[in-house]
Structure 1
Amino acid sequence: MYLLKHLLFAIPFLLSTPLYAQEPDEQSIVAEGFRLYKSEMASWYGTDLFLEHFSGKKEQAEGYFSYTEAEENRCLFFSRGNEPKVLVTFIFDDTFNTQTARIDTTERAFTPQERDLYLIRKKALTQINQDTLFKKYQNTSLNLIPVVDKDSRKVYVLTGPQKQGVVIIGNDYLLTFDENNLLVSQKPLHKNIIPIDYAKDTTGVITMHTHLPETGGTITPTDICTLLLYQKYAHWQQHYVVSQTYVSIWDCASNKLVILTKEAWNRIEKHQDEKKKKQKKKREK
């Protein structure tokens, strides 16, 4: 874990400077991160509502998954057996207010999209349970997020904490499937697990982690998802992801991403150092 105690420069400066990188697709990374975040939020609050109002169906339920459709975030619980059915569906807007959530208790068959989500989730779970690629750590759980669209079918696997006061980066995976829901590939997104402790009474904290070349040069959608889920509890100000080629800066207050080339980062650091030296000389006169 790394902590940065001082802000190196402001996000507005980065947004206005011509030095930030154009190659990484920042918008698609952020969009995918928000997609995963909405799925996890729907699962969090859907599970709370299910346990609160439908505990009698707990033995019937095999599991749940969430997805977003037409600006609505849906979490559905499905039954056990070879032909599972939807037991109950929780529907949230983007506020995820449980008081205004809609609850559909209609027991029904999966829609075609839901069946694909169910199948790839089930196959991903089988892989997790039988393949040593997937690591499990004490006081954590592996959370599956199936994603289906016209261009791809995949399951992200995130590691979530089972105790308060810690944010977990890493130990995440991506499984991809073909149009017939057959597994095509699976890989770890980070090679390790990075727990970052936080205290409720701290504010303005800046955190960071590093990426090995095999993880990729920029922040990942799973990183953004994790930050969106926990930054409000940790009261973080910014999070930096540093690799050999890029520095990604996520601003927790504005939910904005800036990606700099390492060269641009070094130039800005040099400029800041020179500025500090000049200011110091002025004070010494």
Structure 2
Amino acid sequence: MNDKGQIIITEILFYILLSVIILSVIIYATETINDYQVTGINNRQLNKLLEDNLLTLTKTSGKPENWEKINTNKIETIGLKQTKTDMLDYDKIMRLKDSPQLLENHFPDGVSYVLMLYPKNNPNKREVIAQRGTFNNRKQIRAKNRTVIIDYKLKSTFLKNNESCPYEHDDKWSCITINVNENTLSNTKYYLLSDSNIEYILSNTYSDNITGQTQKTCINSQIMQLIKNDNQTIHVHTKSDTNNTYLVRDANNRERFIESVIKPEIYVLKLIIAV
């Protein structure tokens, strides 16, 4: 091959190498610009997306308000607030945990998120309620907390001493009257709950009574012994120095949360999102 041929080949190789370098620079520059644009959008919107969703979850009941009881295709938005209070609704939390995909409509495609709940005094006891995607190699991550109290749907009645009582006790005694039958007891558990040890008397309208002492106890078995007819009136008498005693009705088998009636546990709801 003569010198002229070698020069031509060298020039061709040079132009090929130069073209590869130029193409690489163009691709890199394009990706960098696109990445910058995406990051810029997320920087402006990510905080708002986080704040808006956490506000919706903790300050609204969702749409419709009873979404936890209806079919998925009829649900518009997810809110966890109990309808009549500022507490979070335990049933709504459990519905979202069972159907975590319900939260996907709250976030654009490409956004990863995790919603978790844990006791404020025990951050290691975290429970994931809903999650989508991972946080690996994410350029923007935001997190925000809200302290919340949960409504476990326990119906409680404060026992006070201004109700009529057939025993005519002194002022340290409180009395409440309930009407029950065997069917009621099969669906509902009744508890006496106090912040200190109390004396109690359960009586019916036939002068039968059962006495005891407790700080927390289920009284269904005692009530059953006192039932004499289909709609039995039961008098619940309690004596306490602190006068902080409740009759609690549990229709959902949530005994582990009974103490929350007197001492509501504070939880942290944490939302993390990333792009």
Q: Same fold (TM over 0.5)?
A: no
The structure showing larger relative contact order (alpha-carbon pairs under 8 Å, at least 6 residues apart) is 2
With the length of structure 1 as denominator, give the TM-score of the two structures: 0.24
